[in-house]
Amino acid sequence: MANCRRDPESEPESVFPHEVGLFTDSYSEKSRFCFCGHVLNITQNFGSRLGVAAGVWDSALSLCNYFESQNVDFRGKKVIELGAGTGIVGILAALQGGDVTITDLPVALEQIKGNVQANVPAGGRAQVCALSWGIDQHVFPGDYDIVLGADIVYLEPTFPLLLGTLQHLCGHHGTIYLASKMREEHGTENFFQHLLPQHFQLELAQRDEDKNVNIYRARHREPRPAHHS
Ligand SMILES: C[S@@+](CC[C@H](N)C(=O)[O-])C[C@H]1O[C@@H](n2cnc3c(N)ncnc32)[C@H](O)[C@@H]1O
């Protein structure tokens, strides 16, 4: 620990401790989580740089819990996660046998890569790529079996971009799992009640009342049968 015994008379600002790092704007926290029999070591790099991408949000943990309780089968499935933050959800999907692409804005990729390295054995099927909704989705194929998102429905201006991205990525028989904290002030309910159902068949798969987190499962609407007169 740094020596912080200084003369307060000669140095009025020294009422603030001088420990190195106490007032730095970033710090890392390593946490352990256990899902589906896997121990996940996740580093969260808090600070202004990563913003909301830094931490593991309740929705991510609810979604991991859901995969465990429902025994969701990822084996051999082509999976993509949007707005992954720490990557915990996609990492679990990869450990459960999925061929997973974990995506977020470029600023978050280093954190996700570190967590993938720490948890997915070499040769495991998890790749990390930049995907900004509404901009990069066409770089990715449109035939994913499973599309994942935890707490990504919170910025109303991005809703049309997110919708377009989901429409492109989700294969015809694919399934989307979205876990969301239902924040009234962020229009989250509007997204699930009005916007998403215009394009997808939607069901509320689980609700955690205490955390106010809903998990939705969505599929493309069946193409309407042609009418013959
Ligand atoms: C609230 S955090 C959730 C992080 C993580 N999924 C979790 O639940 O722990 C929202 C995430 O969405 C990402 N995000 C926000 N806007 C985005 C955009 N336009 N395109 C891609 N990702 C975006 C952020 O970088 C962040 O990682």
149-164 confidence digits (pLDDT tens): 999 999 999 999 999 9
d(CA 41, CA 59): 18
Q: Pick from 33, 105, 214 the residue to mutate for probing ligand 1's pocket: most ligand atoms within 8 Å of its CB.
A: 105
pLDDT of residue 154: 96
What residues pair up with 153 in beta bridges, in sequence order?
none
Instruction: Report the distance separating Cα 21 and Cα 176, nearest Å.
Output: 42
Distance 60 CA to ligand 1 centre (A): 11
Question: What is the crossing angle of helices 88-95 and 58-70, to 10°?
Answer: 20
3-state secondary structure of 143: coil
Averaged pLDDT of the chain:
89
Question: 67 and 33 in contact (C-beta within 8 Å)?
Answer: no
> CA dist 149 to 116, 205, 225, Å?
17, 14, 31
Enumerate residues lining ligand 1, CB below 6 A. Answer: 52-53, 56-57, 59-60, 83-86, 104-105, 108, 132-133, 150-152, 158
Residue 131 has pLDDT above 70, yes or no: yes
Distance of alpha carbon 94 from alpha carbon 47, whole angstroms: 28
Nearest to 110 by CA among 129, 88, 94: 129
Q: Please name the residues in contact with 55: beta carbons below 8 A apart, sequence gap of 6 or more.
A: 44, 46, 85, 86
Atom of ligand 1 nearest to the CA of 85: 27
51-93 pLDDT per residue, tens: 999 999 999 999 999 999 999 999 999 999 999 999 999 999 9
**Residue 38 and residue 160 in contact, taking contact as beta carbons nearer than 8 Å:** no
